Structure 1
Amino acid sequence: MGKRISSMISILLVAVLLLAACSSKSSSSEKTTIKYWSMWNKGEPQQVVIQKIIDEYEDENPNVKVDVQWMGREVMSKVRNGALSGDAPDLTEQSGAEVEGALINNKLVEPLNDLLSMKIPNEETEFQEVFIDNILPFYQKEGNTYFIPYEIISSGFHYDENLFKKFGVEPPATWEAFVEINKKFKSEGLAPLAQDGNIDFYNAYYYYWLVERLMGPGALVKAAGDKTGETWSQPEYLEAAKKVQELADNEFFADGYKGSQYPAAQTAWASGKSAMVLVGSWLSSETAEYSSEDFKYKAFPFPEVEGGKGGKDQAELYLIGWVAPKGADKKAVQDFLAFAMQKKYQEGIVKDTKNISSRNDLEAPEALADFRDIVVNASSYHKEYDGLQAEYPDWWKTVFLPLDDKLIFGEIKAEEFVQELQKQTKDYWSKK
């Protein structure tokens, strides 16, 4: 009997060891999946760059699968719904302002603090050390890092350096000087300002920038969020509107700008039919095929306004980057992001997408050198459109943009514009 029991025990021990070995083998071969919902569409330059990163990451990490879906610009609304229902991806991307409005402010994100001290593979540099100064902390909240930027956009006035030399003008530093060069171009038969009037958020650049220069960051968001509408009665909001009206009254915009259908005006500008255009730094890549060989892309920041709180050394920081929604596999995501921020991959943002990288050791494409200098040398930053489109997206679309179009088209005067903003803002919030 004793021998039989001993034999049975031995058999059981062998079985247990075999099961343990099988279990260990099974777990070691299990794959981790990173679910990634991207803002890019298939075929876009950024999509191609990111797909290469994914392919090479999977090659080096055979137990990790990056399940990417190319969802386009509306991805953030899908991510937010997923985060609320517990079905969000591990990784997504969008502009920082959109991420902040949809996820960070609603505590629907995972902090990525451990990533900061991780080493970039093949570089032996800490992750946080490879970024342009003050870029990585821009969307930090309560000491936590949620947003990892990889592409920098800004806005300002684009111009052809050779055309400015031909007319004997210099980039203006003040609003008064800006008005004067507009007058000079017009007097010599060249339309000063290009404007595709059918793009309402392009039209909004003028009023938004004037408020930034007069009142500083946060002024537009404050007024939009005031349920009484009374904030709009402050005189600087009217002063900004009067300056937009000044441009329309003096007919500085190219003929037919109200009906101009994108990209007609910017294409005409690249062909030398107008002097300047105020828009995002993406313009050079959109117009390169229409500009002549001797066209030299340059840019200058929105001019200072006398007595204003915002100087021309204050820059717009429009960041595109990654975020891990609530419930994400942080360990896997952070490992992937450390891999993705290698210099050899981020060079693709510069060379292939023709944009500015957030890495401090990568120069901008030649056409964007001025924009990179504006960002790097800025004393402070603000969000694109002061964050309005992300903080109050419905108000932005239904109240602000329609009124702003009327102002820039010369259909209403500055006083009526501000009065309507005050009235319609109050009405808007009364229905919420």
Structure 2
Amino acid sequence: MNKKRKAFGSLLLAVMLTLTVVLAGCGKSNNAESSSSPSASPSASPSETASASASDNAETPAASELEGKVVFWSMWSNTEPQAKVIDEAVADFKAANPKVEVEVKYNGRDINKLIKPALESGQQIDIFEQDPGAALANLKDHVLKLDDLLEQQSIGMDGKSVKDSIIPSLIEWVKSLSGPAGLEEGYYAIPQQPYAVLFFYNKALFNKAGITAVPTSWEEFLAACEQLKQAGIEPITFDDAYRSLFIGGYLGSAMGSDWTDSLVKDKTGDMWKDPIVLQFANDIQNLKQKEYFSKRIAGNKYPAGQQDLALGKAAMYLNGSWLPNEIAATAGPDFQWGSFQFPTVPNGNDKGGQQGLTFGAQGLLLNKNSKNVPAAFELVKYLVSKKAQEAMAVQAVAIPATVDSKWPAPLEDAAIAFNNAKVNMPWGAGIENGADFSTGTVIPVFMELATGKITADEYVAKMAAEAKKFYAGK
């Protein structure tokens, strides 16, 4: 996906032992397609099926009693592998609920701009997919609280409730988003298509260079880069869509995401004079001077960087866990995928290190104005069933959101990062939280440093001055 996934406020998660996450396959396609399952018999009017609140609908009628129409707006295009899994889940639902008509509209990523006006106009949309953080912030007047519904029995999970069938860290993360959005505390989305930000690397190239273990410290990271260089391999690549991840990855590892958030919002510019910023600048300058960065980073336009990884032109790429699916066609079935967390940066505070990880998920949400909540939630149960989630793992190379489900082979190494992490960091560890300052100054000046146009000392001076100038009078 060429649009970066934004953010979640810092969150200390106590339940990270069973972890996971990863958004698979965010293609750029925006095809809007609808598919409908015709009702086997005339449907009841919406008012006759269910206009009750979520708490009144905790007990779902027997499947054979459900009827009416359910409309689901998906964030995938009809050409993406996720759509095939959705179609299969809808078919299973229809087999058990023949009186329910289901319409699936595949909006692609255009859903982000279409969903709000459609909901506000009163268009029938019973279920929709969104980033839960963005949905709760922007669509809070339209989302249904799901606490009682989540106590229903899940499908294919040995008697577990829907809530208990989802990875604990994910479901609790969704709950944590309700307060900041100004909603009553609770669950307003069911997470699925989880993701995390990690270094993805080519194991074959690491083996060729004689690297026997992934780096966990900055020193080990530099040593790995040198081994790759000596083997004739460009160590690191990235492109314009994901430049911020490297800045935030380093500073977040050193100081934590709260500090990084404060840095890009500092109106005085003085925080840019902190010794850790100069250390960062010196280390980036060092990566450039030692030719650890790909020679193509200056002009790389998405998806050029990730294609370089897929083709074996570079060894490492910092990205989301949707990456293996996005470049599967180029990389081929024999590509040896590995991943590791951003290495620990020295001389930081106790808020950084590998306790923090940028992770999240997409979510399934119900329209609180839906006239058919029972049937809509029953369909959601099929979409997040063990069968559907494991199909996502196989067909879309996605991490399943359900507990006790096998991860796809290209993402198996990601489990180590999740087991280490205790803090949920926002996108880029907060480096993009400065809005226009981040996009217009932080990232471009970083590129000047990474391409050798300015020195480390010049970087610090320029960032301090630019921050003060940008925030003057604000």
Cα distance, 1:293–1:144 mapped onto 2, change above 3 Å: closer
Q: Is the 8 A contact 2:276 2:347 kept in 1?
A: no
Q: Is the 8 A contact 1:157 1:278 kept in 2?
A: yes
Cα distance, 1:205–1:116 mapped onto 2, change above 3 Å: same
Residue 410 of structure 1 and its aligned partner are, at CA, apart by: 3.1
- Residues 186-265 of structure 1: matches in 2 within 5 Å? 186-195=229-238, 197=239, 200-225=240-265, 232-265=272-305
Q: Is the 8 A contact 1:118 1:338 kept in 2?
A: no
Aligned to 1:119: 153
Cα distance, 1:334–1:414 mapped onto 2, change above 3 Å: farther
**Which whole-Å CA distance do the structure 2 matches of 1:415 and 1:82 have between them?**
51
Cα distance, 1:337–1:179 mapped onto 2, change above 3 Å: same
Aligned to 1:346: 389
Q: Is the 8 A contact 2:285 2:452 kept in 1?
A: yes
* Cα deviation 1:130-160 (Å, max 9, x = unaligned): 1223111113124311221111211222223
**Which whole-Å CA distance do the structure 1 matches of 2:463 and 2:376 have between them?**
43
Q: Is the 8 A contact 2:192 2:401 kept in 1?
A: yes
* Cα deviation 1:96-126 (Å, max 9, x = unaligned): 443354335xx55322111321101354211
Cα distance, 1:367–1:415 mapped onto 2, change above 3 Å: same
1:384 lines up with 2:427 in the alignment? yes
Residue 296 of structure 1 and its aligned partner are, at CA, apart by: 2.2
Q: 2:100 aligns with which of 60, 64, 77?
A: 64
1:112 maps to amino acid = L
Residue 34 of structure 1 and its aligned partner are, at CA, apart by: 3.0
**Which whole-Å CA distance do the structure 1 matches of 2:124 and 2:251 have between them?**
37
* Cα deviation 1:48-96 (Å, max 9, x = unaligned): 2112222332342234333332222132233234455655833221334
**Which whole-Å CA distance do the structure 2 matches of 1:202 and 1:383 have between them?**
14
Aligned to 1:310: 352
1:277 maps to amino acid = Y
Residue 278 of structure 1 and its aligned partner are, at CA, apart by: 1.9
Q: 1:369 aligns with which of 407, 412, 423?
A: 412
Aligned to 2:72: 36
1:92 maps to amino acid = F
2:166 maps to amino acid = F
**Which whole-Å CA distance do the structure 2 matches of 1:37 and 1:292 have between them?**
31
Aligned to 1:410: 452
Aligned to 2:201: 159
Greater shift, 61-70 or 235-244, is seen at 235-244
Residue 398 of structure 1 and its aligned partner are, at CA, apart by: 3.9
**Which whole-Å CA distance do the structure 2 matches of 1:84 and 1:398 have between them?**
33
Residue 193 of structure 1 and its aligned partner are, at CA, apart by: 1.4
Aligned residue for 1:171, secondary structure, equals: coil
Tell me the TM-score normalized by structure 2. Answer: 0.74
Aligned to 2:128: 92
2:78 maps to amino acid = K
Q: Is the 8 A contact 1:76 1:98 kept in 2?
A: no
Q: Is the 8 A contact 1:132 1:376 kept in 2?
A: no
Cα distance, 1:121–1:159 mapped onto 2, change above 3 Å: closer
Aligned to 1:358: 401
1:275 lines up with 2:309 in the alignment? no
Cα distance, 1:31–1:287 mapped onto 2, change above 3 Å: closer
Aligned to 1:16: none
* Cα deviation 1:274-296 (Å, max 9, x = unaligned): 32222222232344444477642
Greater shift, 411-420 or 355-364, is seen at 411-420
Residue 356 of structure 1 and its aligned partner are, at CA, apart by: 0.6
Q: May I ask how many residue pairs the two structures share in their alignment?
A: 403
**Which whole-Å CA distance do the structure 2 matches of 1:167 and 1:245 have between them?**
23
The higher relative CO (CA closer than 8 Å, separation ≥ 6) is in 2
Q: 1:128 aligns with which of 157, 163, 177?
A: 163
**Which whole-Å CA distance do the structure 2 matches of 1:335 and 1:298 have between them?**
37
Aligned to 1:9: none
Aligned residue for 2:109, secondary structure, equals: coil
Residue 413 of structure 1 and its aligned partner are, at CA, apart by: 4.0
Greater shift, 160-169 or 146-155, is seen at 160-169
Unaligned runs of 5+ in 1: 1-22
Q: Is the 8 A contact 1:204 1:405 kept in 2?
A: no
1:374 maps to amino acid = A
Q: Is the 8 A contact 2:194 2:361 kept in 1?
A: yes
Q: 2:90 aligns with which of 54, 72, 76?
A: 54
1:154 maps to amino acid = A
Cα distance, 1:233–1:32 mapped onto 2, change above 3 Å: farther
Greater shift, 393-402 or 182-191, is seen at 393-402
1:275 maps to amino acid = A
Between Structure 1 and Structure 2, the one with more helix by share is 1
Unaligned runs of 5+ in 2: 1-43, 50-64, 180-184
Greater Rg, structure 1 or structure 2? Answer: 1
Cα distance, 1:239–1:331 mapped onto 2, change above 3 Å: farther
1:78 lines up with 2:114 in the alignment? yes
Cα distance, 1:71–1:247 mapped onto 2, change above 3 Å: same
Q: Is the 8 A contact 2:67 2:375 kept in 1?
A: no
Aligned residue for 1:357, secondary structure, equals: coil
* Cα deviation 1:15-67 (Å, max 9, x = unaligned): xxxxxxxx99x957995333322211121111221122223323422343333
Residue 317 of structure 1 and its aligned partner are, at CA, apart by: 0.8
Aligned residue for 1:135, secondary structure, equals: helix
Q: Is the 8 A contact 1:245 1:408 kept in 2?
A: yes
Aligned to 1:103: 139
Residue 174 of structure 1 and its aligned partner are, at CA, apart by: 0.6
Q: Is the 8 A contact 1:182 1:252 kept in 2?
A: yes
* Cα deviation 1:186-214 (Å, max 9, x = unaligned): 2342211133x3xx232221101112111
